Amino acid sequence: MVSRMFRLETEVDKARRDLLRRRLRDTNTAASPVLRALRGTPQERDSPLHVWASDPAGGLAGGLVGHTWATWLHVTYLWVDERHRGAGLGTLLLTEAERIAAARGCRSSRVETWDFQAPEFYRRHGYEVVCVIPDYPPGITEYTLVRPLG
């Protein structure tokens, strides 16, 4: 029986997480001609990309957190303080992140957002819906959107 051959653990272990990530990346790179071609280039690295906006008092007005990898920008978080919404700050943050990503060699961008957040914001910026997951989490729809850069 397979279950008797292995000991399962459920604690958070960052060292093993990083090892698993490296091994998975090595497996994926070996299987993908595109990833093999990127080996050793700046585009191969998973590089953080952060853009911050401060208000005149020095407080956080908004920000974008993402990363670039394999010619893609992945927008993980984009948030604008309620007091600054509607003034174009979200557009400024996204545009700057896309500019930096393009300078790093990225050709495309992706983002996940929920129906009550910003799918229309991203559509206005040229993003197209490529995936819809209803009821994730329950009562909410998640969208994945992508856009070519450049």
pTM of the model: 0.83
Contacts with 80 (C-beta within 8 Å, 6 or more apart), sequence order: 53, 61, 62, 89, 90, 93
Confidence check: pLDDT of 64 > 70: yes
Summarize pLDDT for 16-60 with one digit per residue, the tens.
999 998 899 889 888 887 776 777 766 666 799 999 999 999 999
Nearest to 97 by CA among 81, 114, 119, 74: 74
Summarize pLDDT for 114-136 with one digit per residue, the tens.
999 999 999 999 999 999 999 99
Kindly indicate the confidence band of residue 98, based on its pLDDT and cuts at 50, 70 and 90. Answer: very high
Between CA 46 and CA 50 the distance in angstroms is: 13
Confidence check: pLDDT of 97 > 70: yes
Q: Decide: 93 and 59 in contact? Cβ < 8 Å.
A: no
